[in-house]
């Protein structure tokens, strides 16, 4: 989808629809954008007819969108959006788009309301060449922030993965025009829209990778895509470790999980060096990102059910999110240094697969007794986190579709946040709120460390049956970060959507990309990171 921004007076012709934001209010819906300045034929009433709104169930709540005819003498109001009236008028449909209570349209919650409102508008338009959406006025958001949220929601809502469809694909909106008031307003909005589009494109990249069939996205093919994507980026350098190098580097967790697969494992190490770095006390803040990359998870010898395997191509969602975040960070000019590590393998059953009862030795020398081969993500992350520590970062953030227990605790839309540093966790949670990706902190109590005690090794890879599964997994990960500030996002629930709604399409969501982008492009986080390193 192409997105652009114009002043109200420069509204282009040939639009299929014009979206008009509407506030919800105790006395009924109220227009949220100034009616003045629109071209002739598109004038809006000073107030909406309450009886018309009641008939169409329209209250102005977020995610509502209903078609409205601006001139009843020409075309009667219609919820269907059919603009082929007997008069042959070519004026666009006017679509009322709910943006919620005006008192709530500020800050992080306001940005999320605009993302969802924009998505509702795009879905209501369907297949069309072009449509325009007015930015709401009198809200506590800057024009560039509003436009970024609108662009982000629109592009994400129009996402489709149709690489393997042979029939006619469902249509989508080709071009969205964001209408920003004056020329100066439109210029500011244009800058914000460009940022929103770029972030959404990186989320879509992560979605594409997760949606790709697992036989088409083996560990080797994933790394090839990684290298191609960043080949022309001067700020990024990529190193790929093959199976021989992985063995040489003593990545016992990754090798242990990979044993059962005919596809060899890979590890990608990416370094981002900012073109315009921020320096604090003479050094550039440094963040390490680690993403779990199980390109297909059968469960190994602890085999999943047939139904449990249906969506297991999603198990590399953490690695895909790290790739997407790097993609956006480089494009947006993040000012901190980033080291990214993605251990990649399949988890398959075979005569050579790791067996329950085996003991693996991770990169840092610690040993893990494997009692369930379906708890494999923490094994590859043990190596990834060990390598991250060796890179000398100021902090580490990892993302992984790690535990079903996180879904039980938090459902399908909220990620779990755990870690060893409250200040870093607060930074990650603030970034997630700005991005509109819900996360919730879970405790990591020392008293639960005995849940992963092993009789023969330093630890075992599963905790107590039916108890604190997400916590026991994170406690194992904590063994591999030492004293480095570390935050872990368990994205097992929100990495995949069971339906198309809001700005999500059924399938991969790209969850985590927007949170990481908000984090690494934040000047406040850069300063926190630099001062955290200074002690």
What are the residue numbers of the active site? Answer: 304, 378
Nearest-CA neighbor of 52 among 26, 36, 70? Answer: 70
Report CA dihedral (516, 517, 518, 519) to the nearest 10 degrees: 50
DSSP conformational letter for 495: T
H-type alpha helices, 251-300: 252-258
What is d(CA 413, CA 504) in angstroms, rounded to the nearest whole number? 11
d(CA 236, CA 238): 7
71: left (phi over 0), alpha (psi -120 to 50) or beta: beta
Task: Quote the longest CA-to-CA distance of the chain.
Answer: 83
Q: How far is CA 133 from the centre of its chain?
A: 24
> Which residues does 267 contact at the CB level (< 8 Å), separation at least 6?
240, 241, 245, 246, 251, 254, 341, 342, 343, 344, 383, 384, 387
Residues 97 and 104: their CA atoms lie apart, in Å, by 16
- Strands 30-31 and 17-24 turn out to be antiparallel
Rg (CA), the chain: 25
Q: How far apart are CA 291 and CA 492, in angstroms?
A: 13
């Amino acid at each position: 989808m192409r997105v652009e921004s114009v002043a109200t007076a420069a509204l282009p012709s040939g639009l299929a629809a014009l979206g008009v934001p509407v506030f919800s209010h105790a006395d009924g819906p109220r227009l949220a954008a100034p009616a003045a300045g629109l071209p002739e034929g598109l004038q809006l009433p000073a107030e909406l007819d309450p009886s018309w709104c009641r008939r169409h169930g329209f209250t102005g709540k977020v995610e509502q969108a209903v078609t409205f005819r601006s001139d009843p003498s020409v075309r009667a109001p219609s919820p269907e959006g059919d603009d082929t009236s007997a008069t042959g008028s070519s004026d666009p449909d006017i679509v009322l788009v709910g943006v919620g209570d005006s008192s709530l349209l500020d800050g992080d919650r306001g940005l999320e309301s605009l993302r969802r409102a924009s998505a509702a508008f795009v879905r209501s338009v369907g297949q069309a060449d072009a449509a325009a959406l007015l930015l709401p006025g009198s809200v506590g958001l800057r024009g560039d922030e509003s436009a970024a949220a609108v662009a982000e929601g629109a592009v994400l809502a129009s996402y489709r993965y149709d690489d393997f469809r042979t029939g006619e694909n469902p249509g989508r909106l080709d071009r969205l025009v964001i209408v920003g008031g004056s020329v100066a307003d439109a210029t500011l909005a244009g800058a914000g829209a460009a940022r929103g589009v770029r972030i959404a494109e990186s989320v879509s990249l992560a979605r594409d990778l997760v949606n790709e069939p697992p036989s088409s996205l083996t560990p080797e093919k994933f790394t090839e895509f990684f290298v191609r994507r960043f080949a022309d980026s001067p700020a990024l350098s990529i190193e790929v470790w093959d199976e021989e190098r992985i063995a040489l580097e003593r990545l016992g967790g990754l090798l242990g999980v990979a044993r059962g697969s005919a596809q060899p494992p890979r590890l990608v190490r990416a370094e981002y060096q900012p073109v315009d770095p921020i320096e604090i006390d003479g050094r550039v803040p440094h963040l390490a990102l680690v993403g779990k990359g199980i390109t297909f998870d059968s469960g190994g010898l602890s085999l999943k059910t047939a139904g449990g395997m249906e969506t297991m191509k999603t198990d590399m969602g953490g690695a895909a999110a790290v790739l997407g975040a790097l993609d956006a960070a480089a494009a947006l000019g993040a000012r901190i240094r980033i080291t990214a590590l993605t251990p990649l393998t399949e988890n398959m059953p075979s005569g050579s697969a790791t067996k329950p009862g085996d003991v693996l030795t991770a990169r840092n020398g610690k040993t893990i007794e494997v009692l369930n081969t379906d708890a494999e993500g923490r094994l590859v992350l043990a190596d990834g986190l060990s390598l991250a520590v060796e890179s000398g970062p100021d902090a580490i953030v990892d993302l992984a579709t790690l535990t079903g227990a996180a879904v039980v605790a938090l459902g399908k839309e909220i990620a779990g946040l755990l870690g060893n540093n409250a200040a870093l966790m607060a930074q990650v949670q603030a970034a997630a709120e700005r991005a509109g990706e819900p996360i919730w902190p879970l405790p990591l109590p020392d008293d639960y460390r005995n849940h992963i005690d092993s009789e023969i090794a330093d630890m075992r890879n599963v905790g107590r049956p039916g108890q604190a599964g997400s916590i026991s997994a994170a406690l194992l990960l904590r063994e591999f970060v030492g004293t480095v500030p570390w935050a872990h996002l368990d994205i097992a629930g929100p990495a995949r959507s069971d339906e198309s709604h809001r700005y999500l399409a059924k399938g991969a969501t790209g969850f985590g990309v927007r949170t990481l982008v908000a984090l690494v492009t934040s000047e406040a986080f850069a300063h926190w990171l630099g001062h955290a390193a200074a002690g």
